[in-house]
A and B are shown apart, each in its own frame.
Chain A
Amino acid sequence: MKDGKCACEENVSESELFERLDKVLLDYHDKPGGLIPILQYAQAIFGYLPENVLKYISTKLNKSYSEVAGVVSFYSFFSTHPRGKYLIRVCLGTACYVRGGKEILDAVKKELKIDVGETTQDRLFSLEVGRCFGACGLAPVMLVNENVHRRAKPSKIAEILSAYKGGTGDEQ
């Protein structure tokens, strides 16, 4: 993302992250419909959308905190809790659902012992549900960060996840 380098890869101070956010705000504050891209960048910069960041954005855009929160809570893409190093998003859109997306989700839950919206204790994985990634031909689809796992099978989940644990997940 343009101004949205993720903080988790580097040791960056909070004030530096806010400087990055300020650049985004400068680009978008007077654009109609600018709130959603600002929130997307902010989530990329901070890893999630903490309260102080959302309040900062609402002040800068002269919108109420309730309005900003309303947009954040509408979209499942946004998270107000810190996420793990790997964000797993299992698609439950129509095509993925009929081809076993639910079973994939159950397998991930069982393997990581977390529910949707939660993060593992070691901060390695977070689990979310997606509502279609536009890859219906590859259903069922599971995303781990930017990696697409196509035609996923419940029996393969443990193997896929252990590769991420071992640091070789991105090579799959």
Chain B
Amino acid sequence: MPKLTINEMPVEVEEGTTILQAAKKIEINIPTLCYIQNFDPIGACRVCLVEVEGMRDPVASCSTPAAEGMKVHTNSQNARAARKMVVELLLSEHQGECQLCDRNEDCELQRLARDLGLKMIRYEGEKSRRIVDESTPALVRDSAKCIGCRRCVTACNQVQGIGSLFPQCRGFKTYIGPAFGNPLNSVTCVQCGQCAAICPVGAISEKDQIDDVWRVLDDPSKFVIVQTAPAIRAALGECFDYKPGTIVTGKMVTALRKIGFDAVFDTNFAADLTIIEEGTELLTRLKKLLVDKDKDVALPMFTSCSPGWINYAEAFFPDILPNLSTCKSPQQMFGAIAKTYYAEKIGRKPEDIVVVSVMPCTAKKYEAQRPEMFSSGYQDVDIVLTTRELGRMIRQAGLEFDQLEDGVMDSPLGVSSGAADIFGNTGGVMEAALRTVYEIVTGQEFPFPKLHVTPIAGLEGVKEASVKIETTVPEWAFLKGVEVKVAVAHGLGNAKKLIEKIQAGKAVYHFIEVMCCPGGCIGGGGQPRQTNDEVRTARISALYREDEGKKLRKSHENPDIKKLYEEFLKKPLGEKSHQLLHTHYHAKEKV
């Protein structure tokens, strides 16, 4: 247990603790840039330099272990000068164009320059070379803004296990990106946007579609409706300096109405619909196995709400594509229903309806333009904004977010259950499905306290639970005595571990939820920056609170969903459902 002093304050830490961690323990803040929670430091950016007595040069506190008797100074003349110099050098090659950058006032480099009191950049020289990559529907990369911190490399390689981003070349020519500086669409990228979510500057961002939305809002011939995903309401507040985990559903609805949308709806409605379809699909697969003794039935069944996960499965695990639920994601179910059922209801032609979604996700931008997503005869979802884009759009509209009154979603595509709220967090889709499937099969109340299946909640990478079916209604008698085994994974690295375990025959499940991003959609690539485990936990508990605050907690009890089946779809997995709500997948080459 080394004892040391930092800024004359004594501190004792465990062997292997870094100076940065030791300082944090006694509430001394050292600025960092390349450092990310839960991963080994790489010491690339040198922003965390501190002075250690007896050492010739300042050291990177993120990667220097604290040692017995060390005397560390984080705010000495030398330490401050060294950090200033590092940031000055970073800025000397950075082509930030701050006023035009979507990270303006939300940029870690900008903040560092301000906090360190940088007054001028003394070095004039070559700037980073500019390659702007707009090759994917989801992301834009600008190498001239990249400062080479490699956080995105960690997110892409270690968190998600994709590896589309990697340092190329060397020295001043170092370029963070796909092979040989080629565009992102030349390699396998699932478009999850975890790189964009973790980038400290404006080098990787979502493809901004705000102007496309303004354009349709300005067009009087268009009827523009908006849907918002469950995870938005738990994070949008952060764009306006609310604490992570503040629920802002009401203000968000009012903001959307004031921006000029003709109707404000909820993706949650479609989440409830997803549960009905997906739950029925699971039961149908179980029936095939247990009653028809069909050994080829594809089980375990995997959820299919997360487009990054779908992209991943298509490229990395094409063998399991039959195991993916054929259900479209709630975003796409919403679009298909809006341009058919709803269009009919309000007497508008589908071609005049524009569906805008607000998603925590960059991969949703890709999903919306997949060729399978034109079931209404038109592109079912026209424009996808991320949470961050909605935040910017609210500012562009001149709205004072914190002054807005609470509004309520419109009917009929705006009513939803608490089960739909928790679609936004890891374990939530599974819990929502279990609430419904259990009650359909047993006819009994879901037996978990507060309806929560706690073993599958929280930030553990892979989680599992089982539910024993003791009694059943006559229709599902074959499930009597069956123990339904489920698993949940979030983050693709964890999904990979889980799939490999199943493929090795080391585990057997019936139903598996996978969300592409760590923490689930609340930690999505389109959410306000920065997301760490504290922020994830706060957003997750916000969604559970939202769920618990509702009278309606189960998808199958949603009255507007019942009406949708009565008036239009007729029955789950019926002909109309197949046409509008289900899809299929294609194996893709992995590069």
Closest-CB distance, B504 to chain A (whole angstroms): 16
Give Cα A68–Cα B169 distance, bound, in whole angstroms: 11
**One of A54, A55, A70, A80 near B166 (C-beta < 8 A):** A70
Whether the Cβ atoms of A66 and B169 lie closer than 8 Å is no
Whether the Cβ atoms of A66 and B166 lie closer than 8 Å is yes
Measured as residues with beta carbon below 8 angstroms from the partner, the interface class of chain B is 10 to 19
**One of A55, A59, A63, A73 near B168 (C-beta < 8 A):** A73
Whether the Cβ atoms of B180 and A64 lie closer than 8 Å is no
Whether the Cβ atoms of B169 and A74 lie closer than 8 Å is yes
- CB of A69 within 8 Å of the partner chain: yes
Interface string of A53-89 (1 = CB under 8 A from B): 0110011000111111110011000001000000000
Interface string of B578-591 (1 = CB under 8 A from A): 00000000000011
Q: Which residues of B contact A59 (CB under 8 A)?
A: 590
Q: Which residues of A contact B591 (CB under 8 A)?
A: 55, 58, 64-65
- Give the interface centre of B162, B167, B179, B188 by most chain A CB atoms within 10 Å: B179
Give Cα A74–Cα B179 distance, bound, in whole angstroms: 12
**One of A58, A65, A73 near B169 (C-beta < 8 A):** A73
Q: Which residues of B contact A55 (CB under 8 A)?
A: 591
Q: Which residue of B lies closest to A67 (CB)?
A: B166
The size of the chain A interface, using a CB distance under 8 A, is 15
Interface string of B54-72 (1 = CB under 8 A from A): 0000000000000000000
- CB of B170 within 8 Å of the partner chain: yes
- CB of B193 within 8 Å of the partner chain: no
Q: Which residues of A contact B165 (CB under 8 A)?
A: 66
Q: Which residues of A contact B188 (CB under 8 A)?
A: 64
- Quick one: which of B172-219 are within 8 Å of A by CB? 177-180, 187-188
Give Cα A68–Cα B167 distance, bound, in whole angstroms: 10
Whether the Cβ atoms of A64 and B168 lie closer than 8 Å is no
**One of A54, A67, A68, A73 near B157 (C-beta < 8 A):** A67
Q: Which residue of A lies closest to B164 (CB)?
A: A66
Whether the Cβ atoms of B163 and A63 lie closer than 8 Å is yes
Q: Which residues of A contact B162 (CB under 8 A)?
A: 64
Whether the Cβ atoms of B187 and A66 lie closer than 8 Å is yes
Interface string of A100-127 (1 = CB under 8 A from B): 0000000000000000000000000000
Whether the Cβ atoms of A64 and B167 lie closer than 8 Å is no
Closest-CB distance, A42 to chain B (whole angstroms): 16
6 tightest A-B contacts by CB?
Answer: A64-B163, A69-B179, A70-B166, A66-B166, A66-B179, A73-B169
Q: List 5 A-B contacts (CB under 8 A).
A: A55-B591, A64-B162, A64-B591, A66-B165, A69-B178
